[in-house]
């Protein structure tokens, strides 16, 4: 199972991540890294994934790669709940399934939701 540091980036699109062993799926596109041998590095350019921000390596049987974490607008003085997006902890994925990614959305004032 992989270890994935995240790099926050201001973007208007979104990312979903699913993990099943060494198969990572980003927004419905699967990337199968099961054939990557121990100690090997797969260059970032060899993987057609817009979310991948690093090479992919296998160290002690564990995949290591970095993904972009998209986020919407965050004010210059971000609220505490936005810090998990701006300074995300690396993901240490141990289970199969949908991976919870840090997220934050600004509260919409009530008058905007009533319109």
39-67 per-position pLDDT tens digit: 999 999 999 999 999 999 999 999 999 99
Q: Which residues of 38-63 are buried (b: 16+ CB within 10 A; e: fewer)?
A: eeeebeeeebebebbbbbbbbeeeeb
Query: What local confidence, expressed as pLDDT, does residue 114 receive?
Result: 56
Query: What local confidence, expressed as pLDDT, does residue 7 receive?
Result: 97
Query: What local confidence, expressed as pLDDT, does residue 115 receive?
Result: 54
- The owner of tokens 């992989």 is 2
Query: What local confidence, expressed as pLDDT, does residue 106 receive?
Result: 74
Q: Which residues of the chain have pLDDT under 50?
A: none
């Amino acid at each position: 199972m992989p270890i994935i540091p995240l790099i926050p980036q201001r973007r208007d699109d979104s990312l979903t991540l699913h993990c099943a062993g060494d198969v990572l799926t980003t927004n419905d596109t699967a990337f199968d890294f099961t054939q990557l041998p121990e100690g090997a590095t797969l260059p970032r350019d060899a993987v057609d994934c817009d979310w991948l921000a690093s090479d992919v390596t296998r160290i002690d049987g564990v995949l290591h790669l970095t993904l972009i974490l998209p986020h919407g607008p965050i004010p210059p003085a971000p609220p505490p709940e936005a810090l998990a997006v701006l300074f995300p902890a690396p993901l240490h994925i141990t289970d199969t399934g949908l991976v919870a990614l840090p997220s934050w959305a600004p509260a919409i004032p009530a008058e905007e939701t009533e319109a």
